[in-house]
């Protein structure tokens, strides 16, 4: 394998990251380059937030939808242990989700247009083919959830257990932002006997040394968290 020229690498990365920051595409970036199991380059650019201090090496970040592959890993661990089957209907593990209708926004009004005749299986949740909480369902039902509905994974799963799908399971693929993976996470809770945060910590993040990865940051971790911001005109 050709060894990276660190001087060229540093020059190119610095040029690109400083350009993105100057043009307002981002406020900061942190670059880590490994080659052959050895760290060969680390650098921080920009500030923590629009008016923040210089970005520090120990900054922490929201990983957002990267929780999805972590959730899938937890499910696959439980499948490997024989505690669940990814080809099984989700109704083997949770209540509801039977005989669901299919709905669409038509002329500004949400209408039922059919019935789901397929079983929702675990793998449908993670391949974005379940029809759960996608398309018009997000604006019609997710947006109307109360704080009580969002108290726990269990309450979220129960809230959606009788809500319409956007398409018949298995007939299409469309991004499910939250609930399909919440269902998978809750099933992990049920078959493992652990709340999901504890399960992830004990079986994934602690095991591989991800010491700053958590659903519930400490005060010290909050202090290192990169500030959220949005880009506008």
Quickly list DSSP for 161-190: GGSPBSS-TTS------SHHHHHHHHHHHH
Q: How many domains does the chain have?
A: 2
pLDDT band at 226 (very low <50, low <70, confident <90, very high): very high
Residues 126, 34 share a domain: no
pTM for the full predicted model: 0.88
Q: Are 121 and 14 in a shared domain?
A: no
Question: What's the confidence (pLDDT) of residue 200?
Answer: 97
55 lies in the same domain as 73? no
Same domain, 29 and 48: yes
Buried b (16+ CB within 10 A) or exposed e, 215-230: eeeeeeeeebebeeee
In a domain, 73, yes or no: yes
Residues 148 and 87 in one domain: yes
Q: Are 22 and 120 in the same domain? A: no
The CATH number of the domain where 70 resides is what? 3.40.710.10
Does residue 199 share a domain with residue 86? yes
| Co-location of 132 and 34 in the same domain | no
Q: Is residue 117 in some structural domain?
A: yes
Interval 17-32: pLDDT, tens: 999 999 988 999 999 9
Question: Do 196 and 103 fall within a single domain?
Answer: yes
Q: In a 3-state reduction of DSSP, which class is residue 51?
A: coil
* Environment class of 205 (CB within 10 Å of its CB; exposed 0-12, middle 13-18, buried 19+): middle
| Token output for 220 | 């010290």
Q: How many CB atoms lie within 10 A of CB 74?
A: 22
pLDDT score of 150? 92
The mean predicted confidence, pLDDT, of the chain is: 94
Q: What is the mean pLDDT of residues 157-185?
A: 96
Indicate whether 50 and 163 sit together in one domain.
no
> Could you read off the pLDDT of 75-91 as tens digits, one per residue?
999 999 999 999 999 99
Residue 141 lies in a domain: yes
Both tokens assigned to 2: 């050709």
Domain range for residue 53?
Answer: 6-60+217-224
Helix axes 67-80, 179-192, angle to 10 degrees: 40
């Amino acid at each position: 394998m050709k060894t990276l020229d660190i001087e060229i690498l540093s020059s190119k990365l610095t040029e690109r990251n400083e350009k993105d920051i100057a043009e307002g595409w981002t406020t900061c970036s942190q670059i880590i380059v490994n080659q052959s199991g050895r760290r060969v380059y680390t650098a921080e650019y920009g500030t923590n937030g629009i008016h923040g201090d210089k970005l520090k090496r120990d900054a922490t970040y929201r990983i957002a939808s990267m929780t999805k592959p972590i959730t899938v890993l937890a499910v696959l661990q439980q499948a490997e242990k024989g505690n669940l089957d990814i080809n099984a209907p989700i109704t083997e593990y949770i209540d509801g989700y039977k005989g669901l209708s299919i709905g669409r926004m038509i002329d500004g009004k949400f209408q039922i247009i059919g019935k789901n005749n397929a079983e929702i299986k675990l793998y449908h949740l993670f391949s974005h083919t379940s029809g759960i909480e996608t398309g018009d369902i997000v604006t019609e039902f997710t947006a109307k959830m109360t704080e009580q509905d969002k108290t726990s994974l269990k309450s979220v799963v129960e809230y959606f257990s009788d809500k319409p799908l956007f398409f018949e399971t298995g007939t299409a693929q469309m991004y499910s932002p939250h609930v399909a993976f919440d269902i998978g996470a809750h099933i992990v809770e049920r078959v493992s006997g652990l709340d999901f945060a504890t399960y992830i910590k004990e079986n994934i993040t602690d095991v591989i040394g991800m010491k700053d990865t958590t659903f519930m940051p400490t005060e010290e971790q909050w202090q290192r968290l990169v500030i959220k911001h949005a880009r506008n005109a």
